[in-house]
Amino acid sequence: MKEIRWGFVGCGEVTEYKSGPAFNQVEGSSIVAVMSRNADRARSYAERHGVPKWYTDAQALIDDPDVNAVYIATPPSSHATYAIMAMRAGKPVYVEKPMAASYDDCARINRVSQETHVPCFVAYYRRYLPYFQKVKELLDNGSIGKPLNVQIRFACPPREVDYNAPEARPWRIQPDIAGGGYFYDLAPHQLDLLQQFFGVIVKAHGYSANLAGLYQAEDSVSACFRFENGLPGSGSWCFAGHESAREDCIEIIGTEGILCFSVFDYNPIRLHTSEGIQEIIIENPKYVQQPLIQAVVETLQGRGDCQCTALSATPTNWALDYILAKF
């Protein structure tokens, strides 16, 4: 494939700011069609972004001969359906995270990818951002010695939409659509990164609760897990706390120091060693998914080897489901 001509299934907020524009910024890549079940939304997106075609039916977009790769940016519950439709049509897939609403759906995607020999990539774009590549570099060069323990701490107050009536609540807190609540939406980025640093999680256990009672999904989660290299880790997530508790931090404790960084706020990376505290500021690109999209495009063109595949993304869903006791 010389020119990767993308069709978007879904054109919501993530495609406006994080991913959509990047597809036209990468050499050899362009957006040729978009789809939304809402005709006004599809038409508006196409007009605003200069996309030639728009659809209200996913199969029609997938069958379009001008489309030779499909980006799936719908809520997780439909990821497996659309990914399988595209792969069976012989068209490579780039799907938003989490890869699906359950580990079982991830397994279905992988089976079809293997059967059809059509690749599926997952939008864990933080793997390719300079900020997190710097974190990995610090770990790899032994800046904190041997890692001994990993701690995730995340807390935030409720969002205004969390107080909406049930019919007006965002899909991210509807478990039948999202796979869980905000934990299932945000924790995947944290767990995926840590598995890039330390290998896959082989054991995971958690406790979840809905204590604020604003919606059906969990709003507080505590977990412990172990990586394949034996490193233990733990995490706590609270999505209904007081503003004073707001935190976005991963702390890695080593024999020679501590490394602290954030996953969503991109606060300065903090390296604590016997020499003192060093703060490292790393800028990310304007469109944060662009480095990963470029890697995907180069792989489809036969001149790259993007490892952000469905197979590599599946262990994250496995860990999520074990933490939430979904098995």
For 65, list phi and psi in degrees, rounded to 5. -65, -20
Which ranges of the chain would DSSP assign to H, the alpha helix?
Answer: 13-17, 20-25, 39-49, 58-63, 79-88, 103-116, 130-140, 175-178, 182-198, 290-300, 310-323
Q: Rounded to an integer, what distance in angstroms lies between the CA atom of residue 90 and that of residue 55?
A: 20
Placement of tokens 């016997």 in the chain: 274
Q: Rounded to an integer, what distance in angstroms lies between the CA atom of residue 188 and that of residue 233?
A: 15
Q: DSSP state, 93?
A: E
Collect all residues with Cβ–Cβ distance below 8 Å to 306 and sequence separation of at least 6.
121, 292, 295, 296, 298, 299
Per-residue pLDDT, averaged over 49-74, amounts to 97
Looking at the predicted structure, is the pLDDT value of residue 292 above 90? yes
Helix axes 130-140, 182-198, angle to 10 degrees: 40
Bridge partners (DSSP) listed for residue 35:
9, 55
Looking at the predicted structure, is the pLDDT value of residue 12 above 90? no
Q: Rounded to an integer, what distance in angstroms lies between the CA atom of residue 144 and that of residue 148?
A: 10
Virtual CA dihedral for 99, 102, 104, 105, nearest 10 degrees?
-50
Q: How confident is the model at residue 66 (pLDDT cuts 50, 70, 90)?
A: very high
85: tokens are 């439709």
Q: How confident is the model at residue 13 (pLDDT cuts 50, 70, 90)?
A: confident
Per-residue pLDDT, averaged over 76-103, amounts to 98
Looking at the predicted structure, is the pLDDT value of residue 1 above 80? no
Cis peptide bond prior to 98, omega within 30° of 0: yes
For 321, list phi and psi in degrees, rounded to 5. -70, -35
Provide the pLDDT for residue 324.
98
The strand pair at 257-261 and 247-254 is best described as antiparallel
Virtual CA dihedral for 21, 178, 40, 61, nearest 10 degrees?
70
Bridge partners (DSSP) listed for residue 199:
none
* Cβ–Cβ under 8 Å, residues 102 and 139: no
Per-residue pLDDT, averaged over 244-270, amounts to 98
Q: Rounded to an integer, what distance in angstroms lies between the CA atom of residue 283 and that of residue 46?
A: 30
Per-residue pLDDT, averaged over 283-300, amounts to 96
**pLDDT 10s digits, 130-149:** 999 999 999 999 999 999 99
DSSP string, 241-255: --GGG-EEEEEEEES
Provide the pLDDT for residue 160.
96
Starting at the edge strand found earlier in the chain, the sheet holding 53-55 runs 53-55, 29-35, 4-9, 69-72, 93-95, 120-122
Provide the pLDDT for residue 17.
81
